[in-house]
Structure 1
Amino acid sequence: MRRNYKPEGRGHNRHRNWRRQDTRWHNNYRCRTGASSDVASPSSSTGSSSSSTQSSSVPELPGFYYDPEKNRYFRLLPGHNNCNPLTKEGIMKKQMEVKRLQDLEEDKNRKKSSRLGLNASLLLRKQQLGSLPSTTYCRRIHEMKVSCMQMKKVTIVNPESVGVETLKYEFILADSPCERLFVVNDLENGFCKYDLLNLNGLWKDVPTVESHDDNLYFTSQKVVTACWASLNAPDSHVLVCFLGKPEAPGCVSLIPACRFRNLAADYDDVRPEVVYNIRISNAWSCAWCLNPRLECSYAAGLRNQVLVLNAITDVQYTFRTNSDVLAQQFATQNLLLYNGCRSGEVFSIDLRVPYRSPNNCRKGVTFSQSSSITCLRLLQDENYLVVSDMSGQIKLWDLRMVKSVHNYEGHVNSYAHLPVHVKEEEGLLLAVGQDCYTRIWNFQDARLLRTIPSPHPAAKDSIPSIVFSSYHGGKRPVPGLLMAVKKDLYHFTYDSLDF
């Protein structure tokens, strides 16, 4: 019985293995031909997201890409290839462009209010009855108007030059009253150019800004960061950090605003001020101090150290750190300097405490986030600090308890040095992600109010730079958002007809 049993068992196992192999071959054939019953037809698939289509309708095969329009698989090649341009980078770029165009269309037809039951007449009635504080009423109105901002293209006018070629924007920076923009442009030959834009013409039907450039301000060094400085008057200079090269060392410059043509009426009668330069290698950040007890002083974040200098007396102090300092901001009520490092650490330096050597500086408040710090924003109540990092986290910290209060979700960043804009009076927080989307949050409850796609296709070299204010232009203030991307300047203005 044993001899008769063994051959039956072997034959039975071979028959079972053959059925397994046949099933595997049949499944692979159905996957390659797209004949699976779970595969959606080309007419039903939108093609906006390949990853969602593969996960929901067709299986994902390593090294292959499923095209829902052609209903078949294509082989992926590593990197770029001139003969077959079907690569992961090209597919992701195509998907992002399709999604951006869809988001642009949805943004035009979006709802006017971001909260249920929020309208201007109800808010005004509550404010008149005294049940709504004036600050809350102002913030709710700004929240509603931000939800229906309309995009207009801005025309740049240069009164002295005709036919000037439009240059690519690197970033823009507004002064305190939001009357001028410091602009850094990239040139095709590796040089960069910077000038000032006057915002007095934004109120026109076709918004215009006037350029006050100076042909002397061309440099082959990259502008790392910049901030406005009040040396002898409010916002009288611009503090600029230049990245060093082997043939040209890095430096920090104080550029007088009056050096730009047509900015002052008596420019020809006044002797131009000298640009203040100091050679500093590897400067990653800078900050100007507005505290009168530390007048005419600024800080620079370097490699493993912090430098505090006085622009008049040239007195400088050095503080050693354990990591590169990528973000800085001075407090105005106390002599504190907040620093954000590449290691993710955030700490403050009390400048009232004397020190004997650069290595014994006393750190005040200290905490960490999960990635390199990109931006610090101290609130009017200096017990709170907004911190963003390269993992996409934006958090509001209570410095008394050293505790995170709010987390503003949705920001996209993995390695870029991107700023965050805080508008406390309007109750808004704004940031541009590495995906080229501009996101606006309610500052008090961290609610995402609006996501604005870029007017241009997303790319690493076309991340928009923004400035938001409710009083752009000075004499005739125009509220809204200014966005510089590629060679164009846009103004997202409030639509007052709906209120």
Structure 2
Amino acid sequence: MPKELPGFYYDEEKNRYFPYKGPIPGSSRKPPPIRPSSDPKQQADDLCQTFKIRPGLLHAREFCGNVIYSFKKKLSFQAEYQKRHASQPTIWKYKRTKKMANISLEHVVADVILPHGLEERDILLSCGAHGLVCVFQTANFRQEINSADMYEADRVRPLNLDQTPRQTELLRELGSSFGSTSYLTSDISCLAMLGKSSLTTDGTMSKRFLITTLGSDIATGSVYLLDLSEPLDFSSPILVGSVLHGIAGFKQTLWTADSDPRGTHAAIGTSKGVVLLNIETGASTWAFDCKSDVFSLQLNQSGNSMLCGLRNGKIVTVDTRQRQMKKSARSSSVISMPSSVCCLTSLEHWDQYFLASSMDGSMKLYDRRLTHRGAVQSYEGNVNSHTRIQLGVDPAEKVVMSGGEDCNMRMWNIKSGELLLRDRFMDSIPSAVCWSTSREKEKTRSYWEEHGMGAWVGSYEGIFYMDWL
């Protein structure tokens, strides 16, 4: 009997060994074609599910080599494996977090004072209904949490894995202390990191955040600064003034905010245009006047221009250095989307590109230099009609995620526009999403390679976590 050799099989007729990586002699290189569905959405799902289990994918590789076939197309084995991996996340739901994160989510690494000294801990910031602000510490398998107030996580996808549920710890109240019972004067509209495009002097990401409120009949629209740059001591109450304080108020409705790379100035989108705000002094000047609400905005990496997404569906590019000139001179280019622009997200690795979504469900990728040519890429399948929903981009900028009004969470490949994931694991709209931040940004890997890195999802129903093991 011939010996078994790893990676090879023995052909008795030819009396020799052949590697598994190539086609088996005498076999067909092309498996029987699969008849695609007539429904375009179902076609996208079928393509992602062509090789539903990894043994089947490996079997196809043994017969066809590194190039496999589906719907009369040549596909890369590695690309198909990565797509299948992306479509199989493990999803957790945290108990008792209803209404805590349906507006916005951000992840940051902050120093915590412990009995044995300072230690870096992962912190999740969330903004929810009725002006609710929460600060959570997130746990992982290498980290032990000592607080008695734990938020246990139930696994909702898949249900047949033998794994220990993950947990998060609610630290304290934002008020006299951190917690889930602190409310700002009106509904929160935005939570944005200050200086998100630049590293601080010690090489870490920014730990300061802006929070804006819509305003109401009894309160002005307000801008707050949440500062987690100093070590946090969770063994004693922390006063609001030490980590959270108001820096400006406006009579207009405040919808969104973004900052320049240094985190010294912020652009505030209002019901009447955009205000530039000095974070240190609180001084403000109008940068853009318009008759339509500014629902979303993004400053570029130089801070000299910004994209403004308007209620009327326009995306306007504004030069912030010419804010004293007339509006017609300041607006250098205009893009039209089918309905109100609910989210703009700039890409840092491709600094001339940005993602935009509108309230009819449209999602597109644009090049700032070629806006007159229209979208570079489109992402099909999202469902929306009137909800402001965040877009979430992974740190390696390979994929983009968004929730929909059909309660589905979807994920697309940014470059190809291919739908990688569509899953409904909640009964409310997944309106907020953020990815876990890499502690060493320059070492960020793609989402299917970085074990333990995942995405946080917030809805009226509560907080969820998705990771790819």
**Partner SS state of residue 275, structure 1:** strand
Query: In the alignment, is residue 181 of structure 1 matched against residue 124 of structure 2?
Result: yes
2:85 corresponds, among 132, 145, 170, to 145
Query: In the alignment, is residue 454 of structure 1 matched against residue 425 of structure 2?
Result: yes
Return the offset for 1:368.
1.1
Query: In the alignment, is residue 228 of structure 1 matched against residue 193 of structure 2?
Result: yes
Return the offset for 1:398.
2.2
Bigger CA radius of gyration: 1
Change in Cα spacing, 1:167 to 1:336, as seen in structure 2 (3 Å) is closer
**Partner SS state of residue 136, structure 2:** strand
Change in Cα spacing, 1:269 to 1:485, as seen in structure 2 (3 Å) is closer
2:426 is aligned with what amino acid?
Answer: P
**Partner SS state of residue 210, structure 1:** strand
Check the 8 A contact 1:229/1:237 in 2, yes or no.
yes
Q: Following the alignment from structure 2 to structure 1, what is the Cα–Cα distance between the partners of residues 343 and 311?
A: 11
Query: In the alignment, is residue 257 of structure 1 matched against residue 228 of structure 2?
Result: yes
Q: Following the alignment from structure 1 to structure 2, what is the Cα–Cα distance between the partners of residues 354 and 323?
A: 20
1:468 corresponds, among 431, 435, 442, to 435
Return the offset for 1:479.
2.4
Q: Following the alignment from structure 1 to structure 2, what is the Cα–Cα distance between the partners of residues 270 and 464?
A: 27
Return the offset for 1:143.
3.0
1:125-182 CA-to-partner distances (Å, cap 9, x unmatched) read 97xxxxxxxxx999766533221112233468xxxxxxxx865532341236693221
Residue of structure 1 equivalent to 2:359: 390
Using structure 1 for the length normalisation, give the TM-score: 0.61
Residue of structure 1 equivalent to 2:456: 482
Q: Following the alignment from structure 1 to structure 2, what is the Cα–Cα distance between the partners of residues 305 and 151?
A: 39
1:159-212 CA-to-partner distances (Å, cap 9, x unmatched) read xxxxxx8655323412366932211233xxxx4421212223366832111222
Where does the alignment leave 5 or more consecutive residues of structure 1 unmatched? 1-105, 127-135, 157-164
**Partner SS state of residue 170, structure 2:** strand
Q: For 1:230-245, list aligned pairs within 5 A.
A: 230=195, 234-245=205-216
Return the offset for 1:443.
1.3
Between stretches 411-420 and 175-184, larger displacement belongs to: 175-184
Richer in helix (by share)? 1
Residue of structure 1 equivalent to 2:330: 362
Check the 8 A contact 1:304/1:323 in 2, yes or no.
yes
Return the offset for 1:416.
0.8
Check the 8 A contact 2:365/2:376 in 1, yes or no.
yes
Q: Following the alignment from structure 2 to structure 1, what is the Cα–Cα distance between the partners of residues 363 and 277?
A: 30
Query: In the alignment, is residue 272 of structure 1 matched against residue 237 of structure 2?
Result: no
Where does the alignment leave 5 or more consecutive residues of structure 2 unmatched? 1-44, 67-75, 110-120, 143-162, 176-181, 442-449
Change in Cα spacing, 1:469 to 1:237, as seen in structure 2 (3 Å) is closer
**Partner SS state of residue 421, structure 2:** strand
Residue of structure 2 equivalent to 1:51: none
Return the offset for 1:448.
0.9
Return the offset for 1:357.
4.8
Residue of structure 1 equivalent to 2:36: none
Check the 8 A contact 1:470/1:478 in 2, yes or no.
no
Return the offset for 1:313.
3.5
Q: Following the alignment from structure 2 to structure 1, what is the Cα–Cα distance between the partners of residues 59 and 192?
A: 37
Change in Cα spacing, 1:334 to 1:298, as seen in structure 2 (3 Å) is closer
Change in Cα spacing, 1:148 to 1:486, as seen in structure 2 (3 Å) is same
Change in Cα spacing, 1:201 to 1:361, as seen in structure 2 (3 Å) is farther
1:390-414 CA-to-partner distances (Å, cap 9, x unmatched) read 1111011122222211110101111
Change in Cα spacing, 1:140 to 1:275, as seen in structure 2 (3 Å) is farther
Return the offset for 1:122.
6.4
1:301 corresponds, among 269, 281, 290, to 269
| Percent identity of equivalent pairs | 19
Q: Following the alignment from structure 1 to structure 2, what is the Cα–Cα distance between the partners of residues 297 and 376?
A: 19
1:194 corresponds, among 133, 136, 143, to 133
1:431-455 CA-to-partner distances (Å, cap 9, x unmatched) read 1011111011111111111101033
Query: In the alignment, is residue 405 of structure 1 matched against residue 376 of structure 2?
Result: yes
Change in Cα spacing, 1:228 to 1:140, as seen in structure 2 (3 Å) is farther
2:401 corresponds, among 430, 436, 439, to 430
Q: Following the alignment from structure 1 to structure 2, what is the Cα–Cα distance between the partners of residues 274 and 174?
A: 16
Q: Following the alignment from structure 2 to structure 1, what is the Cα–Cα distance between the partners of residues 391 and 309?
A: 14
**Partner SS state of residue 84, structure 2:** helix
Check the 8 A contact 1:345/1:366 in 2, yes or no.
yes
**Cα root mean square deviation, aligned:** 4.2
Change in Cα spacing, 1:229 to 1:120, as seen in structure 2 (3 Å) is farther
Q: Following the alignment from structure 1 to structure 2, what is the Cα–Cα distance between the partners of residues 237 and 138?
A: 39
